[in-house]
Amino acid sequence: MAFGGAGFAISYPLAKILARAFDSCIERYPHLYGSDGRIHACLTELGITLTHEPGFHQMDFLGNAFGLLAAHPIRPLVSLHHMEKIDPFFPNMTRMKSLEHLYHVANFDPQRILQQTVCYDRRFSWTVSVSWGYVVQVFEHNVQLPDAQRVQESYLPWKKNAYGTLYEFNTRKFEVDPCKRQLVYFLDEVSLGVDGIKTIYKKKAYENCTITKNSPRKLDEIRVFSHKLELDKKQLVAPRRHCCDILPSTSDKVMEIGIRECKEDELIYMHN
């Protein structure tokens, strides 16, 4: 349920208890705004505390949500609020078509949608960040994992002249110069085969930038292979980021990546 917010969820057993006390409870809180505020007060009377779930997104900002979506927490996506204020997620699409595109790939693997994994190409010293079902970013240098996870400030504040607004997530500046920015490949298509799920990401913009011998700018397409993510209770309580590998490719314009569970003691960092 959402009423001016990102929404919330309650369990079926709690809903049955709440239903019995709800009518008398809401009469005590006519001054609270919205159904969610009144339900929160009723749950408090029952002695129930709320647990913050990172998969709910209030999205109190304007414009380009790329930074938030590309660095989604390691939790299932639950809700996205204020879509009328957000730019389309994918280039050259309307807002509705963009949402349909995201929902289409989410149907293939709803638990993995937007889940970020990072791998390093030791041959060229590239850093590759895969936000499954949405975007792949290729950095032309070594980016340490904590920095790759930080939300890029691609959006604008909710209120005009409110620069310097603090958010509940760790951020970093979004590079204005496209030639200094990482390469971005947006989801193009998804398919299911005998070896799992294949998602293809393509470059949507071509800037007039200098291309060096080992530059990732020559890449036109990135293919990502994965298996459907099934989250059990242990993984939900203590989620762990998946690992990925740069696979051999037959073309210098195509990169292939395999996503897998990390080994027990595996670390994600650039090996020398």
pLDDT in tens, the chain (272 residues): 445 578 888 999 999 999 998 899 988 998 987 778 888 899 999 999 888 888 888 888 889 999 999 999 899 999 888 888 899 999 999 999 999 999 999 999 999 999 999 999 988 899 999 999 999 999 998 999 999 999 998 888 777 665 555 566 678 888 888 888 899 999 999 999 888 999 999 987 767 887 777 888 889 999 999 999 998 877 777 889 999 999 998 888 999 999 999 999 999 988 76
- What is the Cα–Cα distance from 171 to 70, expressed in whole angstroms? 12
**Can you give the pLDDT at residue 16?**
94
**Can you give the pLDDT at residue 213?**
77
Nearest Cα to 143, choosing from 121, 123, 126? Answer: 126
Q: What are phi and psi of 237, to 5 degrees?
A: -75, -40
**Can you give the pLDDT at residue 191?**
97
**Can you give the pLDDT at residue 20?**
92
Our CA dihedral for 65, 67, 70, 76, rounded to 10 degrees, sits at: -60
Nearest Cα to 20, choosing from 44, 42, 3? Answer: 42
**Can you give the pLDDT at residue 202?**
96
Instruction: Determine if the pTM surpasses 0.85.
Output: yes
Q: Which residues does 126 contact at the CB level (< 8 Å), separation at least 6?
A: 120, 138, 139, 140, 141, 216
Domain ranges of the chain: 1-51, 56-260
**Can you give the pLDDT at residue 170?**
75
Does 56-260 carry CATH code 3.40.50.300? no
**Can you give the pLDDT at residue 165?**
55
